[in-house]
Amino acid sequence: MTNDIDKRIPMRLKPGDCIGIVAPASPFEQTDFYTGVSILESMGFRVSFPEGIFSRSGYLAGSDMDRAAQVNAAFADGAVQAIVCARGGYGSMQILPYLDYEAIRRHPKLLMGFSDITALLCSLYQHSGLVSCHGPIVTTLKSAGLKTLESVFNALTLNELPAIELERGIVLSPGKASGPVICGNLTTLCHLVGTPFQPRMNGHILIVEDTGEKPYRIDRMLTQMKLAGVFNGLCGLGIGSFENCGKADELFEIIARIFNPIHIPILAGFDIGHGPDNIAVPFGIEAVLDADHQLLTYRRFIAG
């Protein structure tokens, strides 16, 4: 996939539009779920979700086929204008073969999530050309700060987003690059390598985040992806939050060593991922990464 893909850009939401909620991965607490629903409703949206969204099958929110059916149904439902995932955790990869990518391509809607939902964001971009959004899930909205909530509302409603200016940016490699943004969880991205759903990063800017991974594991994942040719043609790299992943200096040394021969701009300090802030950012839309000025500037996001 290159940046000349025939992309499907979802419509922006208006007050009163309906957000559908799906559970493609792990189960979750109903209290957290309903708190997140209330927050979306307070933004002026209606919310719908299917029967069985609270199902549990071990560490999954129902069977693979049932979880895939939720996603397919939300895209097919003409009353739903956008989709937000209930929780990440684990399980999104299992449903990828069962998604109706052609139907999703015909009915483009913004889908938002992060962590394990990275698998969905990548597969929908890869096979349907769908522009989506890396951002909070319903059950994390309860602890989201104003910065995160504002970014969610902007991503859902605005067709032009304000530039993301890093407050605590760290330049690991200077320069400027432009290309569509791929954003997601490093572990999940690594697990997609060698599958039909592996994102092709040629001509793209990549932003990664993770949580609970020791430095040597991060080294191993990045090394595997590099040896597999995943980073061939990558034009820029952003580093989100790496919570409980060791010392920042050690992480930055690993990244600089692995990417040094590639000579691309690398900027750390994005409030994206499992940290205190998790701002919503478009996935698949052209942007400019300016490491020197610590900026990520998006072009037009959602269709008017």
Residues tagged active-site: 115, 209, 274
Measured distance CA(156)–CA(74) in Å, rounded: 16
Q: What distance in Å separates the CA atoms of residue 7 and residue 19, rounded to the nearest whole number?
A: 21
Strand partners, 126: none
CB 11 within 8 A of CB 81: yes
Identify the sign of the CA torsion 23, 28, 31, 36: negative
Residues 6+ apart with CB under 8 A from 240: 183, 207, 208, 209, 270, 271, 272, 273, 275
Residues 188, 115: contact at Cβ < 8 Å?
A: yes
Q: Angle, to 10 degrees, between the axis of helix 248-259 and the axis of helix 215-227?
A: 10
Residue in the structure block whose two tokens are 């940290």: 275
Residue closest to 167 by CA, chosen among 295, 290, 276: 295
Q: Nearest to residue 271, comparing CAs of 152, 122, 124, 112?
A: 152
Residues 6+ apart with CB under 8 A from 255: 172, 222, 237, 239, 266, 268
Kindly state the DSSP code that residue 244 receives in the 8-state scheme.
Answer: T
First CA to last CA across the chain, in angstroms? 25
Q: Check residue 230 and give left, alpha or beta (phi > 0: left; psi -120 to 50: alpha).
A: alpha
